[in-house]
């Protein structure tokens, strides 16, 4: 599992190549794991909240096998997650989208899960010509579907859990229960880690509805192949995903899952993703 710690300052004059130990992409250290050494590049962006020791490779552990099928997988730990140190700012999809966009280089496929889907969307809208396809798994974009009563109720529950005075540990447990996050993926093996996660959730910067609509309009106008995947366990995420796919002119798919991580329940997601990306590769080749 090759990995490296990449530092960046976002200087366009020093383009990221992923060939060295240091990336120039802002004053933040990003730990990156790479699976595979040949084939098209796939950048996978995890969700979760700052303070968790669980790395991106745990969120996408089942996807390592894609490296054996001809794909190069790039899995960063977002700042303040896994092995990437805290950035001194909240989780912010727009801020993370800047350095994720740098990882696309001359062209890559993007996969984002949960809040990481917001990050992937921000990166894609920032550099659409470098995105060969975009796959969003259970995207945390409920602001696009607030006309649905279930979504409004869920949004209120999440808001209250984030803003009401309560111990940070209680906040972490409440929100991860709302999201059906398995304990082995949640992080929080110690009370101190759970406290950090709760603090991170309270500071989370969620993209506005207008921002999400603008970014999805870019995906649609640039005709970027879009796939939106859910697990079928939550009506809230189903309605949200329908809204995302509609706004971005994308496909919808349900892979049965008892929780928020349909990419981990079987090989079905890998099969579908590989086929989807291969179709996008063929489309890209035909237009060159």
CB neighbour list of residue 178: distance below 8 Å, 6 or more residues apart:
154, 157, 158, 161
At 12, is the secondary structure helix, strand, or coil? coil
Measuring CA to CA, which residue among 240, 195, 247 is closest to residue 218?
247
Query: Which pLDDT score, from 0 to 100, does residue 26 have?
Result: 56
Segment holding 31, helix H or strand E: strand 28-35
pLDDT tens digits for 26-82? 567 899 999 999 999 999 999 999 999 999 999 999 999 999 999 999 999 999 999
pLDDT tens digits for 174-219? 999 999 888 778 777 799 999 999 999 999 999 999 999 999 999 9
Report yes or no on 223 lying in a domain.
yes
Q: Is the pLDDT of residue 7 over 60?
A: no
Report yes or no on 285 lying in a domain.
no
Q: Where are the alpha helices (DSSP H) in 183-234?
A: 183-186, 191-203, 209-221
At 81, is the secondary structure helix, strand, or coil? coil
Q: Is the pLDDT of residue 140 over 80?
A: yes
Per-residue pLDDT, averaged over 118-147, amounts to 98
pLDDT mean across residues, the chain: 90
Report yes or no on 286 lying in a domain.
no
What is the CATH number for 139? 3.40.50.1820
Measuring CA to CA, which residue among 241, 245, 223 is closest to residue 231?
241
If you count them, how many residues does the chain have?
Answer: 288
Report yes or no on 35 lying in a domain.
yes
pLDDT tens digits for 250-276? 999 999 999 999 999 999 999 999 999
pLDDT tens digits for 216-253? 999 999 999 999 999 999 999 999 999 999 999 999 99
Q: Is the pLDDT of residue 18 over 60?
A: no
Count other Cβ atoms within 10 Å, centred on residue 37.
8
Q: Is the pLDDT of residue 112 over 60?
A: yes
Report yes or no on 28 lying in a domain.
yes
Report yes or no on 178 lying in a domain.
yes
Cβ(115)–Cβ(79) below 8 Å: no
Query: Which pLDDT score, from 0 to 100, does residue 14 have?
Result: 32
Report yes or no on 156 lying in a domain.
yes
Segments forming the whole domain that contains residue 249: 3-280
Three-class secondary structure assignment of 56-79: HHHHCHHHHHHHHHCCEEEEEECC
Domains identified in the chain, total number: 1
% of the chain at pLDDT higher than 70: 89
Q: Look up the pTM and report it.
A: 0.91
Q: Is the pLDDT of residue 103 over 50?
A: yes
């Amino acid at each position: 599992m090759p990995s490296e710690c990449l530092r960046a300052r976002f200087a366009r004059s020093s383009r990221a190549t992923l060939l060295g130990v240091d990336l120039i992409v802002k004053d933040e250290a990003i730990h990156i794991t790479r699976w595979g050494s040949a084939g098209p590049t796939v950048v996978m962006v995890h969700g979760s909240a700052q303070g968790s020791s669980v790395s991106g490779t745990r969120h996408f552990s089942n996807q390592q096998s894609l490296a054996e099928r001809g794909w190069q997988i790039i899995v960063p730990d977002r700042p303040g997650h896994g092995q990437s140190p805290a950035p001194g700012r909240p989780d912010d999809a727009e801020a993370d989208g800047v350095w994720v966009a740098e990882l696309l280089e001359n062209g890559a496929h993007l996969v984002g899960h949960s809040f990481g889907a917001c990050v992937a969307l921000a990166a894609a809208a920032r550099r659409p010509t470098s995105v060969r396809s975009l796959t969003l798994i259970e995207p945390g974009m409920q602001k696009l579907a607030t006309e649905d009563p279930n979504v409004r109720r869920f949004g209120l529950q999440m808001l209250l859990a984030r803003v009401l005075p309560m111990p940070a540990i209680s906040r972490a447990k409440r929100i991860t229960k709302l999201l059906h996050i398995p304990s082995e993926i949640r992080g929080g093996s110690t009370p101190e880690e759970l406290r950090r996660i709760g603090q991170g959730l309270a500071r989370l910067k969620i993209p506005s509805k207008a921002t999400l609509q603008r970014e999805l309009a870019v995906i649609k106008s640039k005709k970027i192949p879009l796939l939106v995947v859910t697990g079928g366990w939550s009506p809230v995420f189903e309605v949200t995903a329908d809204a995302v796919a509609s706004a971005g002119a994308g496909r919808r798919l349900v892979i049965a899952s008892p929780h928020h991580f349909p990419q981990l329940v079987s090989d079905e997601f890998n099969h579908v993703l590989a086929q989807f990306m291969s179709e996008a590769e063929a489309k890209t080749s035909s237009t060159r």
